[in-house]
Chains A and B, each alone.
Chain A
Amino acid sequence: MAITSEPPTTETTAVRAKARPQIIAHEVRPEPTGWRSWITTTDHKKIGILYLYTTLVFFCLGGVEALLMRIQLGSPENTFVSPETYNQLFTMHGTTMIFLVIVPVWAGFANYLVPLMIGARDVAFPRINAWSYWMFLFGGIALYASMFFTPPEAGWFSYVPLSLKEYSPSGGQEAWIYMVHLTGLASMLGAVNFIATIHNMRAPGMGWGRIPLFVWTILVYAYLIVIALSSLAAAATMLLLDRNFGTSFFDPTQGGSALLWQHLFWFFGHPEVYILVLPAFGVFSEVLPVFARKPIFGYKAIAASTAAIAFLGLLVWAHHMFSTPMSTVVLAFFMLSSFLIAVPTGVKIFNWIATLWRGTIEYRVPLLYSIGGIGTFLMGGITGIFLAVFPVDWQLTDTYFVVAHFHYTAFGAAAFGMIAALYFWFPKMSGRMMSEKLGKVSFWFFLVGFHVTFLVQHSAGLSGMPRRVYEYTDTGSLTIYNQISSAGSFILSIGVLLTIINLVRSVKSGAIAGSDPWKANTLEWFMPSPPPENNFDVIPRVRSVEPMRDIRREVEQQTATEQRFQAGRPPTTI
């Protein structure tokens, strides 16, 4: 050991350099420009933007599907769409929003931001990164190509036996399976990339206790994807085999089990919920301290609760199946595990609120969307407690109460979070600001529209309206509940539309942002906006959770000192 620990002499390094393979450039091709630069890119920032634009398109498609459903339910016994079309609509809506919007939108933001935030020049495997984007895109195209034939109609969770060939003979179900495989593989490769990047490529000084909270949530998101999506990939493969090659994993008439699918699906499906919302929590944790001008309250608690939620999230899947045949012991276990997960979630919310406490809060659009998201998600969390109590769940499951609940969580956290993220990081990505005024108007439409749409759905569910029904009879208050909800969905879409208009306008004509328009805390604001292709010429040393704040303070001190010198006064103290 003594030998190796000695400093290498100049001679040995010279020998080593000689032994190293020489890198010879045969030819240097010009950088592709225009659309070709997008197709051939391996730059994490460009790939991130590709992800974001693609998810925006799918978000609009999923939104239109939702509006068509709300029009159909706007009056009792409506015949706006056929039962077949209605089933296709909710299947496409759910599948799109989960697989083609929320999971990839976080891949998009993470692609763009993680290397910048941790002080890396790219992700660990840039080519795999590009590959995973293209697979995601083709997964989406595979699903939407079925629009021209017969779209799938067995619901986003494709319960067997309904999704078996006998009951869903159309190829739409195969399209769904291919979409799951392609986007699943894309997500998993992306996840491996994030894991490798975050573990290995952090700036000097950025220990585990100094990683930005958004990066923490992306790391946990990535681990969850690797664990959960493999279960779905296996289940979808079994479904494909059952449908086309005569196996019978799920066919009860051949000795298969219809419940097996549900277990495998929800073993993916529940962690998936946290795959959707944890990065949004990361966004809230980044945005709040910036606009409260205060450090995040309880950094360690928030980071630890992220990991705790992810771990517990792997142990609660059967709470989606409380009304299937199960023993009381199993029911009780999944009730308690679901309760446990409420504790770290609550801790997060308390910490965010404490972050606001005694801050100086600036009402900027990203903050409004974050606060709106937290307030909305809180309610989804609370209705989650009702659903976790299995006897109560027997009344509530598969009704509109559940529809309301998961929109409060998924939409409350993920959709509010992604729009907060858009307003927050748009200046970095484009170099321009989005309009504050239009952003605020869009926020109020978004918030009010959301609550008008979904609050009343709790009552519809309590009054006995099941999910996935294309029509209902005019009994009790069902009609008025559904009319309110449909009206709300249009208010909500105005909010979305305003944000899209804002986006399109600002790309071309927004005010120039500069490198750090929000006076934020993390490293991505250190670079010019948009950052150069290699990100950092010099990677700064990280000394706290808020490196950019440290840098800003240093710069301020230096300029102050310089000014003093120029004014002929030496610095008094430093």
Chain B
Amino acid sequence: MLAALNTLAGILLPEDGASKNADDIAELYALILVMALVVFVGVEGALIWFMIKFKARRGRVAAQIHGNTRLEIGWTVGAAVILVFITVVTFIKLPGIKNPAASDIDANGNQVASAALLASTDQPAVPKGAKLNIVVDGQQYVWRFQYPRQDDKEVFAYEEMVVPVGMTVTLDITADDVAHSWWIPALGGKMDAIPGYTNKTWFKADRAGSFSGQCAELCGRNHANMLARVRAVPFDEYQSWYDQQAADIKAAREEGARQRAEILKQEREAAEQAESE
């Protein structure tokens, strides 16, 4: 039964279950779906029913009706009321989708007390505790993730973004060459990466796991191969990955610098040799 329900949700609903914004979008979607189905069945039903019921038969004469103002005003208002309702629900749901939620953990990975909202109505919800800000940069055909610096450690990654579970991650999305679109379905909606602009979105992984997605804006021949993955891990594991990545990058940089120096030296020697000859 549950499996059947899951399959049905897979067919009918957007992806969710890993981050609050994606869950809220799926809920909003489901709500509109219910209303849409009612309208769909009603109108499509009337269309088919009338087609069958009023099929031409011998002796039947068509009623010469030109219109009915009251009826027409009625369905105009009716359609408008449904839309007003969807508008209201959307704006009720919007803050939960758009504004970053508060982190469950602080900068050191410790659990913070339950994140009750402040009694303020006109302030946007400021994420309490820590948040991780990652610069996402779209390039033909790979995503680059720039992590914030921690005591002079520089960390970036390609294709796979590693984040701690329970921490709010805010993304600054941009692009280097052509337009791309950042999208991990289970972690919320997409945001376009457009060169010259910075777009913002966020997510907070509720559970550990690997969530995949891909670029959603045509960006060239290998658009289909521009994959993205978010791996949510416990904070400790994240921290050790971060340190390891920083060390690897540093080592690679030093190695690069060493090799460059070597090449320069060789070139200089070769030039000197050529001169002396």
Residues of A in contact with B (beta carbons under 8 Å apart):
83-84, 87, 153-155, 159-162, 167, 252-253, 257-259, 292-295, 297-301, 321, 323-325, 328, 332, 335-336, 339-340, 342-343, 346-347, 349-351, 353-354, 356-363, 371, 374-375, 378-379, 382-383, 385-386, 389-399, 459, 462-464, 466-472, 476-477
Cα–Cα distance between A399 and B29 once the two chains are bound (Å): 15
* B25 and A371 contact, CB distance less than 8 A: no
Partner of A323 from B10, B43, B91, B189 at Cβ < 8 Å: B189
Q: Are A87 and B87 touching (Cβ within 8 A)?
A: no
Please measure, in the bound complex, the distance between the C-alpha atom of A455 and the C-alpha atom of B201, giving whole angstroms. 30
Q: Do B32 and A392 touch across chains, with their CB atoms under 8 A apart?
A: yes
Task: Please determine whether B50 and A356 come into contact, CB atoms closer than 8 angstroms.
Answer: yes
Write out the residue numbers on chain B whose beta carbons fall within 8 Å of the beta carbon of A298.
66-68, 72
* Cβ-based interface call for B197 (8 A): yes
Given the complex of chains A and B, what is the CA–CA distance between A355 and B199 in angstroms? 49
Known: A252-B195, A259-B197, A472-B224. 4 other contacts (CB 8 A): A161-B177, A253-B195, A375-B48, A385-B86
CB-CB nearest in chain B for A347: B76
Question: Does A469 contact B191, Cβ atoms closer than 8 Å?
Answer: no
Q: Is B159 an interface residue (CB 8 A)?
A: no
Please name 13 pairs of A and B residues whose Cβ atoms are closer than 8 Å in the assembled complex, sorted by A: A159-B178, A297-B67, A298-B66, A298-B67, A298-B72, A328-B98, A343-B80, A356-B51, A375-B48, A383-B36, A464-B185, A469-B224, A472-B224
Q: B220 and A167: CB pair below 8 A?
A: yes
A404 vs B47: C-alpha distance when bound (angstroms): 22
Closest CB-CB distance, B177 to chain A, in whole Å? Answer: 7
Distance between A283 CB and nearest chain B CB, rounded to angstroms:
17
Bound-state Cα–Cα, A252 to B28, Å: 36
Which residue of chain A is the closest to B48 with respect to CB atoms?
Answer: A375
Give the residue name and chain of the A residue nearest to B97 (CB). Answer: A391
Task: State whether B62 touches A346 (Cβ < 8 A).
Answer: no
Decide if B233 is an interface residue (CB 8 Å cutoff).
no
Q: Are B25 and A84 neighbours in the complex by a CB distance under 8 Å?
A: no
Cross-chain contact of B86 among A389, A394, A462, A470 (Cβ < 8 A): A389
A252, A332, A342, A350: the one contacting B196 at CB < 8 Å is: A252
- Interface bits B39-61 vs A (CB < 8 Å: 1, else 0): 11001101110110011110011
Q: Choose one: A153, A324, A371; the contact of B221 (CB below 8 Å).
A: A153
Binds A, one of B101-109, B129-137, B144-152, B211-219: B211-219
With known contacts A351-B72, A360-B62, A464-B15, A399–B216 Cβ distance under 8 A = yes
From the candidates B50, B60, B183, name the one contacting A353 in the complex (CB within 8 A): B50
Residues of A within 8 A of B46 (CB): 353
Residue of A nearest to B217 (CB): A398
Q: Is the CB of B194 within 8 A of A386?
A: no
Inter-subunit contact A386/B29 (CB<8 Å): yes
Cβ-defined contact, B14 with A83, below 8 A: no
A451 to B198, CA, bound (A): 39
The answer to whether B67 and A361 have CB atoms under 8 Å apart is: no
Chain A residue numbers with a CB within 8 Å of B55 are: 360-361, 363
Contact check, A167 vs B86: say whether CB atoms are below 8 A apart.
no
Residues of chain B with a CB closer than 8 A to A321's CB: 192
A398 touches B47 (CB 8 A): no
Q: A464-B185, A466-B183 are in contact. Are A356 and B97 (CB under 8 A)?
A: no
Whether, in the assembled complex, B168 has its beta carbon less than 8 Å from a beta carbon of chain A, the answer is no
* Contacting residues, chain B, for A360 (C-beta < 8 A): 54-57, 60-62
Interface residues of B in 96-127 (CB under 8 A from A): 97-98
- Asked if residues A358 and B65 are in contact (CB atoms below 8 Å), the reply is yes
- CB-nearest residue of chain A to B183: A466
CA distance in complex: A343, B86 (Å): 14
The docked-state distance in angstroms from the alpha carbon of A336 to that of B87 is 8
Report the separation of the CA atoms of residues A471 and B87 in the bound assembly, to the nearest whole angstrom.
Answer: 37
Q: Interface size class for chain B?
A: 35 or more
- Residues in B with CB closer than 8 Å to A295 are 64-66
Q: B189, A294: Cβ atoms under 8 Å? A: no
Contact of B65 among A257, A297, A324 (CB under 8 A): A297
Measured CA separation A323–B10 after assembly (Å): 23
Kindly report which residue of chain B lies nearest to residue A343, judged by CB atoms: B79
Q: Is the CB of B79 within 8 A of A354?
A: no
Check: B188 CB closer than 8 A to any chain A CB: yes
* A residues in contact with B61, CB < 8 Å: 360
**Which chain A residue has the least Cβ–Cβ distance from B93?**
A391
Chain A residues with Cβ below 8 Å from B51 are: 356, 361, 371
Q: Which residues of B contact A340 (CB under 8 A)?
A: 83
User: In the assembly, what is the distance between CA of A299 and CA of B86, in Å?
Assistant: 30
Is B47 within 8 A of A371, CB to CB? yes
Q: Quick check: A378 and B224 within 8 Å, CB to CB? A: no
Kindly state the separation between the CA atoms of A324 and B51 in the bound complex, as whole angstroms. 44
Residues of A within 8 Å of B43, CB to CB, are 349-350, 353, 378
Interface membership of B128, Cβ < 8 A: no
A570 to chain B, nearest CB (A): 28
Within 8 Å of chain A (Cβ to Cβ): is B239?
no
B178 touches A167 (CB 8 A): yes
Write out the residue numbers on chain A whose beta carbons fall within 8 Å of the beta carbon of B71.
354
Q: How far is the CB of B94 from chain A (nearest CB, A)?
A: 6
- On chain A, the residues within 8 Å of B50 by CB distance are 353, 356-357, 361
A358 touches B86 (CB 8 A): no
The answer to whether B218 and A159 have CB atoms under 8 Å apart is yes
Query: What's the nearest-Cβ distance from chain A to residue B89, in Å?
Result: 9
Q: Do A391 and B25 touch (CB < 8 A)?
A: yes
A356-B54, A394-B189 in contact; A258/B11 too (CB < 8 A)?
A: no
Contact assessment for A347 and B192 in the assembled complex, using a CB-CB cutoff below 8 Å: no
Q: Is the CB of A161 within 8 A of B190?
A: no
Closest chain A residue, CB of each to CB of B221: A83
Q: Is there an interface contact between B56 and A362, defined as CB atoms closer than 8 Å?
A: yes
Separation of A347 and B68 alpha carbons in the complex (Å): 12
Is B222 interfacial (CB-CB < 8 Å)?
yes
**A470 and B51 alpha carbons, distance in the complex (Å):** 41
Within 8 Å of chain A (Cβ to Cβ): is B231? Answer: no
Q: Bound complex: CA of A292 vs CA of B216, how far in Å?
A: 46
Tell me which residues across on chain A come within 8 A of B191, comparing CB atoms: 323, 394
The 6 closest A-B pairs by CB, nearest first: A394-B189, A252-B196, A469-B224, A358-B63, A360-B56, A293-B62
Give the distance in Å from the alpha carbon of A83 to the alpha carbon of B141 in the complex. Answer: 13
CB neighbours (8 Å) of A83 from chain B are 221-224
- Report B-chain residues with C-beta under 8 Å of the C-beta of A463: 10, 15, 185
* A466: chain B residues within 8 A (beta carbon): 181, 183, 214-216
CA distance A362 to B58 in the complex (A): 11
> Taking the nearest CB of chain B, how far is it from the CB of A179, in angstroms?
19
Query: With the chains together, A469 CA to B195 CA distance in Å?
Result: 21
**B97 to chain A: which residues have CB within 8 Å?**
391, 394
Complex: A379 Cα to B29 Cα, angstroms: 16
**Residues of chain B with a CB closer than 8 A to A382's CB:** 36, 39-40
Measured CB to CB, the closest approach of chain A to B213, in angstroms, equals: 7
| Nearest residue, chain B, Cβ from A167 | B178
Q: Which of B12, B68, B177, B181 lies in contact with A462, CB distance below 8 A?
A: B12
